[in-house]
């Protein structure tokens, strides 16, 4: 009997535009006054079981996930959005059904002495 690899996870769940005030940054003014951060999430997971059962227990509860992400951004300030994005990716991967995640952290109020639309970092992390 030959073993075949499990099918690749191709289903994606996206939650975009999560807005949270955080106090992240390397400058004192950023830590003191805070600023708005926006977070976009993409999660890769197999949704077939949930599609058959129509039961929230069989999929990622994105409402609960958003709550955890908001708490991660609102608390425990860090200097770099790289570290913040990594923290958020870890939260997303805590659910064993998530094969990989793409996290984008937007920092539209970054202290840059120029007119600009946004600063955004996107990372992709997967299970080892």
Hey, which residues are catalytic here?
107
* Strands across the sheet containing 120-126: 12-22, 35-44, 100-106, 120-126
With CA atoms as reference, report the closest residue to 65 among 92, 99, 39.
92
């Amino acid at each position: 009997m030959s073993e075949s690899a499990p099918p690749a996870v191709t289903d994606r769940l996206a939650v975009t535009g999560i807005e949270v005030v955080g106090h992240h940054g390397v400058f004192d003014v950023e830590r003191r006054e805070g600023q708005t951060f926006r977070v976009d999430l993409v999660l890769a997971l197999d949704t077939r079981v949930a599609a058959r059962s129509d039961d929230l227990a069989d999929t990622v509860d994105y409402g609960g996930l958003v709550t955890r992400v908001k708490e991660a951004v609102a608390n425990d300030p860090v200097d770099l959005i790289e570290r913040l994005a990594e923290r958020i990716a870890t939260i997303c991967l805590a659910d064993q059904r998530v094969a990989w995640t793409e996290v984008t952290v937007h920092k539209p109020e970054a202290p840059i002495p120029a007119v600009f639309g946004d600063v955004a970092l996107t990372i992709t992390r997967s299970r080892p």
